[in-house]
Chain A
Amino acid sequence: MVNPAIDLVIQLGIMFAIGAAMAMAFISISHLLSPRSTNPNKSEPYECGVVPKSDARAPFNVHYYLVAVLFVLFDLEAVFIYPWAVSLRTLGTPALAEMFVFIAILLVGYVYAWKKGVFEWE
C-alpha cells in the first residue's frame, strides 16, 4: 500500500527547507558582506521610540488576555465551519440551518461581549 501523503510530506519538506535556507542565506550574506563599525551611539534606539526604562516583562492589563480568549473561541468556531463547507453540498438545507443555529448561539456571546464593552479600550 502506497501512502499518498508521503509525496506531499516530502514536497512540503522541500518547500520549508528552501524557505528556511533562503531566510538564513539572506541574513548570513548581509552579515558577511556588510561593512561594520561599532559605536555605542549606534545601539541606542535613535528615533525608534523612547529609551527603555524597565524590564519588558512587566505585568499588564488583563484586557489583552480577554481579547486572546475570545480569539481562541472564535477560532474554534471556524474549525467547525471547514468540514461543514466541505459536506454542505451533499447534506443540503438542513446542514445550512444547523450551522445558522450554531452561529446564532455564538453570536449571543459576541453581543454579550459587545454590550459589556470588551471591545472598548479605556
Chain B
Amino acid sequence: MTEKILFIVFSVLAVAGGLGTITRKNVVHGLLLLVFTFLNVAAIFFLTQAYFLAVIQILVYAGAIMVLFVFVIMLLNLRTFEQEEQTHRRQRWIAAALSVLVLVEFVVVLAGVTFTSVRGGLTPETMTDLGGGTKVFGDALFNNMLLPFEVASVVLLVAMVGAIVLVKREKTAGGATRAWEPGERPTPEALEEEV
C-alpha cells in the first residue's frame, strides 16, 4: 500500500516535471524542471530496489547531463522560444504524434517482457540472495557482457576524440588561429580568414 502511494507520488511529480520542461518559455526554468524529473525517476528506481540505477540516475543525469544542458543553453545563447515558436509551429504536431507512437511502442514491448536470468526470474528476493543489484550487475558485466563493456570504453573514446577534433582548431601554417573571446561574435570576414 505504502509502496503504491509512494510510486504514484513520484510518478505524478516526474510527469508534472516533464510537462513543465516542455512548456516553459525560459529554457533555464525548463532545465531545472528536467532535473526535478530526473530526481523523481531516481526515486522510482530506488523504490523498485534498483539502488545502483537510482544513484547512477542522480550522478549521471541530474549531475553530468544537466551540466551539458547548461553549457548548451549558454553556448546557443537561448533566451526564450518565442522566435522558434513561429518557425516550428507545424513541428509541434509531428512531435506530438511521434511521442504517442513511442509511448504505444513502449507499452507493447514492455507488456510482453519478463526479465529472467540463467538463475531464473530476477525477483527482488533472488537479487538480495545474490548479493544485491549492484553485485548482480557487476557479475553479469564482467562475465557475459565483457565485450560490450570494453566496446563502451571505445565508444567513450570516440566521443572524447570527436569533441576535441570539433572544438580545437588546428594551428595553420598561414596564421595562428585564436580562440574567440567570451562575448565576442566572429564576423563573417574573420571566419573567411580562418578557412
Contact = CB atoms under 8 A, between A and B. Distances in A.
Interface of A: 1, 3-6, 8-10, 12, 54, 57-66, 68-73, 75-80, 82-88, 90-91, 94-95, 98, 101-103, 105-106, 108-110, 112-113, 116-118, 122
Nearest to B27: A57
B129 interface: no
Contacts of B157: 105-106, 108-109
B48 interface: yes
Given A3-B124, A64-B71, A83-B141, A69 B159 contact: yes
Contacts of B146: 98
A58 B77 contact: yes
Given A58-B77, A83-B141, 17 more contacts: A1-B124, A6-B6, A9-B46, A62-B179, A62-B180, A63-B179, A64-B74, A68-B70, A69-B159, A69-B160, A73-B160, A75-B59, A75-B60, A83-B134, A84-B141, A101-B150, A102-B152
> Which of A10, A69, A108 counts the most B-chain CB atoms under 10 A from its CB?
A69
Contacts of B49: 3-5
Contact of B153 (A61, A85, A95, A106): A106
A80 to B, nearest CB: 7
B182 A61 contact: yes
A113 B64 contact: no
A69 B68 contact: yes
Contact of A106 (B3, B137, B156): B156
The 4 tightest CB contacts between A and B, nearest first, are A87-B138, A83-B138, A109-B160, A105-B153
B94 interface: no
A59 B163 CA distance: 19
A113 B137 contact: no
B79 interface: yes
Interface string B23-56: 0000000000000000000010011110110011
B81 interface: no
Contacts of B124: 1, 3
Interface in B117-144: 124-125, 128, 131-132, 134-135, 137-139, 141-143
Contacts of B72: 65
Interface string B136-173: 01110111001001101110110111011001100000
Given A58-B183, A60-B75, A102-B153, A112 B163 contact: no
